[in-house]
Chain A
């Protein structure tokens, strides 16, 4: 589903991703862990199409297509969703109108008719339950004045409504208390399925207690330095990220 090869990316003159390789198949959950500044959020941003990053080398295939060539909105319409680390506030635009615009943009891209108001409302109500939010939430402006937990739940809620093939969760656990973390994780788990893949980016292993990954990758200084199963995350939890620097130093 997603095939990243030798991906290099920079911001202005600074190279941040220095050759990433990653292969994600349908149904899989990949966790990407690493210390601050290792390039985790850059990777998410490059995959979603943020223009701050310049891809300088490598390829990314999404399904049969070249992901790098696509505009961000086309990536979204093709089924790539990113849950933001810092969801953006849009004052005056209600959550329901925002989501309706998004759903209909995706449907238009697929050659489908727009959903009528009743069908849309039915869809949205069903998904609200998934993240334990009530309907009053739909009338509030997108993320404006939301608590940290509400913002993250809103991301998972949008994901559920938009029904993507590949979801990238960029530090969705940051700033969440344990209850909120559990709600978010339950929402994500409910969306797991044989056709959908997840890339879960996180600093801490605790999220992975709730969203159990198939593969864990450790990112360090713009490269994936180790890959393994779930146990790798536990090892990291034990040792912290400090050993990485040591290991890198020894290699050099």
Chain B
């Protein structure tokens, strides 16, 4: 975890540098969605014509779609006209004025995660007084990347500064027609991140801390686009282990990744949005479309996700393996406790020759949680020599939760090799008793056993993230064993 001062500096500087947040602070659009709202969003963001057209196309298409119901999740219908699609960041005066006004439960969690006090304030939405330093970490960071030709900025900034890149790649992996939530996102997306790694460049740092701050204000319709040119490499970290407060219940983000010849993208997520209370009230609906395209030969895209938050998670980070010899990987830990529901998995689409994919999914259900793995491995006719290995393990804690596995396999080339392994285990009384007999308390024992269960996924995470993720899992499971 970065120090507080650095974080505040970055936050401060981002606003200062682009003046974006300040510009819109006093403005907002009332709830509801029609073409005028979309025109207004686009105008406020001073977007080029092509983007407005794209948003409108998406909106018109969205209107023809029906909300999908195939996922194994239940929720009250969403009133899309009741959502405000362009809201300025909340004024600090509306938020809590000090940590005393913040939910003590939330603070307890921050403390357990070892988050510094000032950062706690920021995450909880408390007004922070920061002395702005003219030499910022963020700027140095950006300068260093710029020297290598790497572009790493907010989506809005990319639209202004690099419209040709945005126009070239936007929607190239997740088209505006893709699905209900992706179409909605295309119509109204607020902001997000943009990364461009030029030919032959290896990004020298994990793109993480910056985003952590960035994410605090990105709102409910994020859009992220990462392009790795020939031979480029980047590791991108999204999210934050600290539970984040957010007033928006619906989150419909889109992430698109493009890897050209010999390029590699590693995308890691720790998702810990507010899961709702113990009775299942409140909590975020996290309906996300994430997809990567291995467009070039020998390219590789790896998704690693740790999903512990949100009331409902609906998310299938996928890989289109178009280039010959390209590789797709999906490593996932999804945990549902109390009344949380998750329907998550991946799609691996094998198009090129000798393409290879690996799926490792670990689902943990506790309390009344419902956890579904849904995955598809599709081998097209031309995918000579394609290989897939899938392993889906579920762990149940208690007897009121559920685990479900829906693997879809669709093979059109006889030379393909597919392996699928699945297991469901109940966290054993025997295991817990064994630990207790050695002096380890029940909650610590559960956390240790679950972390062991997830080890194959955690070792794919960058070190700093892995340590936080382990702590997070322990905290998310508190009280799950009586």
Contact = CB atoms under 8 A, between A and B. Distances in A.
Interface of A: 48-52, 71-73, 75-77, 81-82, 84, 87-93, 97-99, 101-102, 105-106, 109, 141, 158, 162
Given A50-B433, A77-B439, A92 B455 contact: yes
A151 to B, nearest CB: 11
B468 interface: no
Given A88-B428, A90-B434, A91-B453, A98 B448 contact: yes
Interface string B281-299: 0000000000000000000
Interface string B424-438: 000011110111111
Looking at chain B's contact residues, the main secondary structure is helix
B204 interface: no
Nearest to B447: A101
Contacts of B448: 90, 93, 97-98, 101
A97 B451 CA distance: 12
Contacts of A105: 438-441, 444
Given A88-B428, A88-B431, A101-B444, A73 B436 contact: yes
26 contacts: A49-B436, A51-B433, A72-B433, A73-B436, A73-B440, A84-B434, A84-B437, A88-B434, A90-B435, A90-B449, A90-B452, A92-B453, A93-B448, A93-B451, A93-B452, A98-B435, A98-B448, A101-B440, A101-B448, A102-B438, A102-B440, A105-B439, A105-B444, A106-B439, A141-B452, A158-B438
B425 to A, nearest CB: 9
Contacts of A75: 437
Contacts of A106: 439
Which of B429, B434, B439, B455 has the most chain A CB atoms inside 10 A of its CB?
A: B439
B237 interface: no
A109 B451 contact: no
Contacts of B444: 101, 105
A87 B441 contact: no
A72 B437 contact: yes
A88 B429 CA distance: 10
Contacts of A76: 436-439
Given A91-B453, A92-B451, A82 B437 contact: yes
A105 B434 CA distance: 14
A98 B452 CA distance: 10
A97 B431 CA distance: 15
Contacts of B455: 92-93
A49 B429 CA distance: 13
A81 B451 CA distance: 25
A162 B440 CA distance: 12
Contacts, number: 78
B434 A73 contact: no
B255 interface: no
B12 to A, nearest CB: 38
Contacts of A72: 433, 436-437
B429 to A, nearest CB: 8
Contact of A73 (B431, B441, B451, B453): B441
Nearest to A76: B439
Interface in B414-471: 428-431, 433-442, 444, 448-449, 451-456
Interface in B118-170: none
Interface of B: 428-431, 433-442, 444, 448-449, 451-456
A158 B438 CA distance: 9
A141 B434 CA distance: 14
Contacts of A162: 438-439
Contacts of B429: 51-52
A70 B436 CA distance: 12
A158 to B, nearest CB: 7
Contacts of B438: 76, 98-99, 101-102, 105, 158, 162
Contacts of B453: 91-92
A75 to B, nearest CB: 8
Contacts of A92: 451-456
Given A158-B438, A162-B439, 9 more contacts: A49-B436, A72-B437, A73-B436, A76-B438, A81-B437, A92-B456, A102-B439, A109-B439, A162-B438
Nearest to A144: B452
Contacts of B441: 73, 105
A51 to B, nearest CB: 8
A90 B439 contact: no
A41 B439 CA distance: 20
A90 B451 contact: no
A71 B436 CA distance: 9
B447 to A, nearest CB: 10
Contacts of A52: 429
Which of A51, A52, A77, A92 has the most chain B CB atoms inside 10 A of its CB?
A: A92
A87 B439 contact: no
Nearest to A161: B438
A102 B438 CA distance: 5
A170 to B, nearest CB: 11
A87 B434 contact: yes
A87 B452 CA distance: 17
Which of B434, B442, B444, B449 has the most chain A CB atoms inside 10 A of its CB?
A: B434
A176 B456 CA distance: 32
A221 to B, nearest CB: 26
Cβ-closest 3 pairs across A and B: A92-B452, A93-B452, A102-B438
A106 B204 CA distance: 44
B146 to A, nearest CB: 41
B119 to A, nearest CB: 26
A40 to B, nearest CB: 17
A71 B439 CA distance: 10
Contacts of B434: 84, 87-88, 90
Contacts of B456: 92
B439 A88 contact: no
Contact of B439 (A73, A84, A97): A73
A154 B435 CA distance: 14
Nearest to A97: B448
Contacts of B435: 90, 98, 101-102
A93 B439 contact: no
Which of B429, B430, B436 has the most chain A CB atoms inside 10 A of its CB?
A: B436
